[in-house]
Amino acid sequence: MRRKIVAGNWKMNKTPSEAVKLVEMLKPLVANEEVDVVFCVPAIDIIPVVEACKGSNIKVGAENMYYEESGAYTGEIAPAMLVDAGVEYVVLGHSERREYFGETDAMINKKVLKAIEHKITPILCCGETLEQREQGVTMDFIRQQVKIALQNVAAADAANVVIAYEPIWAIGTGKTATTEQAQEVCAEIRKCIAEVYDDATAAAIRIQYGGSVNAKTAPDLFAQADIDGGLVGGASLKEDFGAIVNYK
Ligand code: PGA
């Protein structure tokens, strides 16, 4: 049985002091030992959030990471820095990073490999635009994103990657994909993993849905056979996140 994983993606929200307040508010609400709970927070919030989460069930994630070890990359954050700060997960290839910061599939592949090397679990994002969905190329596009991002990743490592399917048209729009649409793509991703690797890897890998998940939509979404939790943006900054974690 795959363990559900519910991750909050805070995006560019919360100063360090606000972040600690939010953690204190959410901590009792997300105290559910049956689900993996992750707060993916802005880089500057990582250290105080790790401190605030000590002794709780909350794991801390970063929202991005660079693929080099160290050196002349002004403004970037190295994997070893994240590990040293107590980070266990990293969101990679979010559509906002792809769209606004020019991240390509090839760069995301390098980041995935580097995160694995440092034993940070990647939350690898993929998702189609509305135009692609209307053109009927969703599955081809998602398969391409996933295959390139996982190039040269060994099966044993791929099994521990978390994939987040986030249709771009559903992010921050209040337009959640229907449970059928979400399940259909997540099942296709699992099929793709079985083809690239094997059935055991496909059965082990966790696939989240993301895009306007809220306390109302989470129960149905997370009950789908191939949906193993969610990557939650807006609702992760509110009390709602507690209800999403306790979706059952
Ligand atoms: P949203 O964001 O829940 O606000 O739609 C999800 C995400 O971008 O990860």
Q: Is 229 in the pocket of ligand 1 (CB under 6 A)?
A: no
> What is the distance in A from the centroid of ligand 1 to the CA of 4?
18
Task: Kindly provide the b/e burial profile for residues 178-209, where b requires at least 16 CB atoms within 10 angstroms of the residue's own CB.
Answer: ebebbbbbbebbbebbeebbeeebbebbbbbb
pLDDT tens for the chain, residues 1 to 248: 899 999 999 999 999 999 999 999 999 999 999 999 999 999 999 999 999 999 999 999 999 999 999 999 999 999 999 999 999 999 999 999 999 999 999 999 999 999 999 999 999 999 999 999 999 999 999 999 999 999 999 999 999 999 999 999 999 888 888 999 999 999 999 999 999 999 999 999 999 999 999 999 999 999 999 999 999 999 999 999 999 999 99
What are the start-end ranges of the E strands in 14-120?
36-41, 58-62, 89-92
Structure tokens at 132: 């692609």
Q: Is 171 in the pocket of ligand 1 (CB under 6 A)?
A: yes
pTM of the model: 0.98
How far apart are alpha carbons 24 and 35 in whole angstroms? 19
